[in-house]
Amino acid sequence: MKFSQTAQIPVAREPLWNFLMDVPRVAKSLPGVESVSKIDDTTYEGALTVRVGPIKLNLQGKIILEEQNKDAWRAALRAEAKDRMAAGAVNGWFIAFLGLSPFVVTLGMLSIARSLAIVLSQNKMIYDFGPDADIVFAIGGGETFGIANPVWLLLALIQIWGIPPISALRSITVIHTS
Per-residue pLDDT of the chain (178 residues; tens, 9 = 90+): 566 667 677 888 888 888 888 888 888 887 788 899 999 988 999 988 877 655 567 788 888 888 889 998 888 888 877 776 666 667 777 777 777 787 787 788 778 777 777 776 777 665 656 666 677 667 667 778 888 877 877 777 777 766 555 555 555 555 667 5
Angle, helices 86-98 vs 102-120, to 10°: value is: 140
Rounded to an integer, what distance in angstroms lies between the CA atom of residue 25 and that of residue 8? 20
Rounded to an integer, what distance in angstroms lies between the CA atom of residue 173 and that of residue 161? 24
* Whether residue 19 is found in the same domain as residue 80: yes
Q: How many domains does the chain have?
A: 3
Supply the pTM of this predicted model.
Answer: 0.45
How deeply is 46 buried, as exposed, middle or buried, from its count of CB atoms within 10 A (0-12, 13-18, 19+)?
Answer: buried
| Sequence-ordered list of residues with C-beta below 8 angstroms from that of 163, at least 6 positions apart, any chain | 157
* Whether residue 117 is found in the same domain as residue 152: no
Domain that holds residue 148: 131-165
- Residue 44 within any structural domain of the chain: yes
